[in-house]
Each structure stands twice: as structure tokens, then as C-alpha cells.
Amino acid sequence: MSSSFLSLSLYLISLGQGGYNPSLQAFGADQLGEEEELPCSKDDKSYNKKTLFFQWWYFGVCSGSLLGVTVMSYIQDTFGWVLGFAIPAISMIMSILIFSGGSPIYLYKQHEVLEAKKPLMNIFQTIKASALRCFHCEITLPNDNSEVLELE
């Protein structure tokens, strides 16, 4: 019974990590600009917003990891495992409520919804484009010995 509960817990963790990790950053950055491509100019307003978003994103990830390793370990050792697991559980419930509460103001792109209905076709097109790009790449080697540096 306990081993199946542990296995179920590990499966749920991996499902959750696989569901939000690859898409949450892109979803957050997509809310900041309407353009399809990342801007090339540092003067662009959305470039600054996206840069600031990713800075705060990684700050949150790193500070969460730091707090999880230090503060939560201290709480579990000092006050017990119940409180040590209750704090992250309450934090996750609050984050789900905040995320769900903001859904009316999220940006949704209609054409991406239509493309998402053909996931296998998108996968095959990506593999095809990658293979074609790999076969058509050209590498130029320097003809002159002045461009080649040797380490001794």
C-alpha cells in the first residue's frame, strides 16, 4: 500500500513538472507582447518587459530553491514534518488560486489554438525542417593560416 502511494506521488510530481515547466515561462513572456518574433532592438518596449520578466522569473526560481533547501529544512527539523509539508501545500494552493483568478485578463491567440489541434503534424514539420537545415548547412574553413590558431 505504501509503495503504491509513493509511486503514485512520484508519477504526479513528474506529470506536474512536465506540464508546467516547459510552458510556463513561454506563457508568461507571451503575455507581454503581441509580436510573433522576439524583437531585435534593445530600444523596443516589449524587449525591456520580457527582459524584466525573465529576470524576475529566475530570481523567483532561485529564491524559491534557496528557501526550500534552507528555511523549509529548518522548519521540518525544528517544528516537525507536518508544518514543513503544510507550508508548501498551502503555498501551492494559493498560487493555483492566483493563477486561476487571473485567467480573465490573459491573452489568448486564436491561430495558436487552431495549430494546437494538429500536434502530430507540427512534430513532423519540425523534424523535417531540422533535417533539411542540417543537410543544407555549409561550413567554411579558413584558407589562410593566419586565421588558424594553435595551442602548444
Distance of CA 112 to CAs 1, 13, 18, 61, 126, Å?
Answer: 43, 28, 20, 28, 16
Assess whether 48 and 77 both reside in one domain: yes
Contact yes or no for 107/31 (Cβ under 8 A): yes
Assess whether 74 and 96 both reside in one domain: yes
Assess whether 83 and 115 both reside in one domain: no
Please report whether residue 60 resides in a domain: yes
pLDDT for 44 equals 60
Per-residue pLDDT band for 66 (boundaries 50, 70, 90) equals very high
Percent of the chain with pLDDT over 70: 69
Assess whether 63 and 79 both reside in one domain: yes
Please report whether residue 97 resides in a domain: yes
Please report whether residue 72 resides in a domain: yes
Please report whether residue 142 resides in a domain: no
> Domain range holding 129?
110-137
Please report whether residue 80 resides in a domain: yes
Assess whether 66 and 49 both reside in one domain: yes
Q: Which helix (H) or strand (E) holds 69?
A: helix 45-69
Assess whether 90 and 121 both reside in one domain: no
Contact yes or no for 54/29 (Cβ under 8 A): yes
Per-residue pLDDT band for 7 (boundaries 50, 70, 90) equals confident
Q: Between 88 and 146, whose confidence is greater? A: 88
Q: Based on the structure, what is the number of domains in the chain? A: 2
